[in-house]
Amino acid sequence: MYGRLRPLLFCLAPERAHNITFGLLRAGGSVSLVRKILRYIYFRENSQPVAFAGLSFPNPVGLAAGYDKYGTAWRGLSCLGFGHIELGTVTPRPQDGNPKPRIFRFPRQEAIINHMGFPGKGARFAAKMITQPGSSLERDQIILGINIGKNKDTPNEIAVQDYLACLRLLYKKVDYFAVNVSSPNTIGLRKLQGKEFLNDLLQILITERDRLRVDVNKPLPVFVKLSPDLSDHELDDALEAISGSSADGVIATNTTIQRENLMISNPGIRGGLSGKPLKDLSTSLIRKIHHRTAGTLPIIGVGGISSVDDAREKLDAGAGLIQVYSGLIFKGPGLVRELVENL
């Protein structure tokens, strides 16, 4: 079915196409009969659970942050077979993000460039959406994470306050946090991956997480989402800060600003590149992280997964879980079922 719908969706501007499919999933997720139909088509009850960072994931396949930025469609998305869904990126205060157009689609390369800049309605709104009436059944059947970031007008020197605000507002609502310090679409954000910034940020966040965790009596792991564009020296510094703070793992990787593997007429488009051209770059970083930490640091692998072989490559490199996003756009929700059945 998606093969028939895709040409129609791709006739539309990328952000408009996203809004339409997102709206359908949001509406469908609010109707019990639609949720049952979706689960019948896509969900696999006999999938193998995965123990990861103190949590039990129903299967190894998750949805990467960026699709459900507001936390409004997760009920529909949870019926497509995912073992976990990562919402966000959420900032403490609402903001519009970067000017449009800010998503660019390249079907021949199965690639996307986005320059979104964390548009959203804020952490309070996301908290409300996660606990909307009637959501308890779906909530019990899936791991729900949330990707948190700073508002674009918050200086890096006090960015920790934004991350703390999100942590405090959402810790009772989700199963894990992903600390986004690697998006290329918020000016200066990637500087937070530097050793001093990241060490201070994580030390404060983990201390506060440990205090709040007493109220919820569950692991509540904190992962750090890293850029694929880190040099070896920058990666070593980031891993030192992550290990020193007792953060629970990493998500590798975010989008890239590199364009070497993207054959398009306008390589100067601003934003982060995802999809197939990111695949080898993200896998390489996963392999480096796994080697440098002797396999002791849990890794969620994301970047360019559009087939079972792509997913296995990430797992063989050292990832314990995987996430998809761009592959979902080009292949459709059947990709999730294919991955769950074959991994």
pLDDT score of 88: 96
Active site residue 183: yes
pLDDT score of 137: 57
Give kind and range of the element (H or E) at residue 257.
none
The span from the CA of 200 to the CA of 179, in Å, is 13
Identity of residue 150 = K
One of 47, 78, 182, 183 is an active-site residue; which one?
183
pLDDT score of 141: 80
Identity of residue 269 = I
pLDDT score of 268: 76
pLDDT score of 4: 86
Nearest to 75 by CA among 141, 18, 169: 141
Identity of residue 110 = E
Identity of residue 307 = S
Out of 3.30.2010.10, 3.50.50.60, 3.40.50.1370, 3.20.20.70, the CATH code matching 2-97+118-260+278-342 is 3.20.20.70
pLDDT score of 91: 98
pLDDT score of 134: 55
Specify whether the CB–CB gap between 100 and 159 falls below 8 A. Answer: no
**Taking the alpha carbons of 57, 60, 66, 67 in that order, is the dihedral positive or negative?**
negative
pLDDT score of 198: 97
The span from the CA of 237 to the CA of 281, in Å, is 19
pLDDT score of 133: 59
Residue 164, C-beta contacts closer than 8 angstroms, at least 6 positions apart: 204, 205, 208
Low-confidence stretches of the chain (pLDDT < 50) are none
Domain borders along the chain are: 2-97+118-260+278-342
Token pair listed for 24: 């359908």
Neighbours of 132 (CB within 10 A): 14
Identity of residue 187 = I
